[in-house]
Amino acid sequence: MSETKVSAGLFITLEGGEGSGKSVQCAKLCDRLKQHFSELLTVKTREPGGSPGAESIRQILLTGETDRWLPVSELLLFYAARYDHWKRTILPALERGGVVVCDRFFDSSIVYQGYARGLPESFFDAIHKIFDEAEKERCFVPDRTYILDIDPVEGVARSNRRISSVEVKEDRFERINMEFHQKVREGYFDILRKNSARCKKIDASRSIEDIHEDIWEDAVELLARHH
Ligand code: TYD
């Protein structure tokens, strides 16, 4: 990925397995950023989804039988949604100097479709090359990624409690077996090892407030360095 592209705005992603509490942390981080830096454009978004086209793809990705999609089709659907999301939501906000906080991004694909479903690294290199060449303005790699780590047994149980209370169940991934979720966790550990400057591990077994304080402290420091 080219290092020479200009960097405007700040792109933060949150990652983690099922029930790690990413969505709550995205919301808390954004709310506090808006409160403390009212002049700053803050955009909260998520994957799969985050733009109208990508939200349509979300529906067909997250519902139905666990084997609804072949791994390669699934990967391409995630990236089709991602490119739309990147071009139509994330990039415009970054170009305006904003902070974008995104619930999952490409590390999720590397972990879920790569480590857990077994697709090779070369697939990701190839797709990232397409992204890189299609996008001359800015590198799509996040400035900071918080990886919320939790034992999958606890995480999936938390996630299932939440799902049982909603009507439309986007639970195609939660229903996959525990071995899959263990692989997801291992995948994130590997990403942490390989991207130690970008990624930070956050112990997600603690209280919502404790987790938030860790993220907040780091994000504010990052913002101060960036602007
Ligand atoms: P979601 O309902 O957003 O759950 P969560 O709160 O865990 O983020 O569902 C997203 C699901 O999609 C989740 O199980 C992870 C999976 N996923 C992938 O497999 N690959 C990807 O690239 C992304 C973005 C998500």
- In a domain? residue 96: yes
Q: What atom of ligand 1 comes closest to residue 104's alpha carbon?
A: 24
Quick check: 9 pLDDT over 60?
Answer: yes
Q: What is the pTM of this model?
A: 0.93
Quick check: 118 pLDDT over 90?
Answer: yes
Residue 189 CA, ligand 1 centroid: distance in Å: 17
159 pLDDT tier (thresholds 50, 70, 90)? confident
Q: Which residue's CA is minimally distant from atom 22 of ligand 1?
A: 109
- In a domain? residue 2: no
Q: What atom of ligand 1 comes closest to residue 79's alpha carbon?
A: 22
Residue 173 DSSP symbol: T
Task: State the virtual CA torsion across 204, 207, 212, 214 in degrees, nearest 10.
Answer: -70
- In a domain? residue 129: yes
- In a domain? residue 135: yes
- In a domain? residue 52: yes
CATH number of the domain encompassing residue 201: 3.40.50.300
Residue 86 DSSP symbol: I
User: DSSP H helical segments within 50-207, as ranges?
Assistant: 52-62, 71-85, 91-95, 106-109, 121-134, 152-163, 178-194
The reply to whether ligand 1 has any atom less than 6 angstroms from the CB of 13 is: no
Q: Determine contact, residues 23/187, Cβ cutoff 8 Å.
A: no
pLDDT for 7: 53
Nearest Cα to Cα of residue 163 among 36, 23, 16, 10: 23
- In a domain? residue 79: yes
Q: Determine contact, residues 21/212, Cβ cutoff 8 Å.
A: no
Residue 39: φ, ψ to 5°: -80, -15
Choose one of 57, 108, 164 to mutate for the ligand 1 pocket test, by most ligand atoms within 8 angstroms of C-beta.
108
Residue 48 CA, ligand 1 centroid: distance in Å: 7
Residue 75 CA, ligand 1 centroid: distance in Å: 12
CB neighbourhood size of 227 (10 A) = 11
2 pLDDT tier (thresholds 50, 70, 90)? very low
| Mean pLDDT of the region 176-181 | 87
Nearest Cα to Cα of residue 216 among 198, 202, 196: 202
Domain assignment of residue 81, given as a range: 10-226
Strand order in the sheet with 42-46: 42-46, 99-103, 10-16, 144-149, 199-203
By mean pLDDT, which of 6-15, 114-123, 190-199 is the weakest?
6-15
Q: Determine contact, residues 28/195, Cβ cutoff 8 Å.
A: no
Q: Which residue's CA is minimally distant from atom 19 of ligand 1?
A: 112
Neighbouring residues of 26: CB distance < 8 A, sequence distance ≥ 6: 14, 44, 46, 101, 102, 103
Report the number of distinct structural domains present in the chain: 1
Q: How far apart are CA 113 and CA 102, in angstroms?
A: 19
The reply to whether ligand 1 has any atom less than 6 angstroms from the CB of 109 is: yes
The reply to whether ligand 1 has any atom less than 6 angstroms from the CB of 47 is: yes
Residue 4 CA, ligand 1 centroid: distance in Å: 31
The reply to whether ligand 1 has any atom less than 6 angstroms from the CB of 173 is: yes
Q: Across all residues in the chain, what is the average pLDDT? A: 92
- In a domain? residue 1: no
CB neighbourhood size of 216 (10 A) = 16
Biggest CA-to-CA distance, the chain:
47
- In a domain? residue 136: yes
Q: What atom of ligand 1 comes closest to residue 103's alpha carbon?
A: 8
pLDDT for 1: 44
| Mean pLDDT of the region 157-173 | 79
Residue 15 CA, ligand 1 centroid: distance in Å: 9
Which residue do the tokens 């149980």 mark?
A: 157
pLDDT for 14: 98
By mean pLDDT, which of 49-63, 132-146, 212-226 is the weakest?
132-146
212 pLDDT tier (thresholds 50, 70, 90)? very high
Q: What atom of ligand 1 comes closest to residue 46's alpha carbon?
A: 3
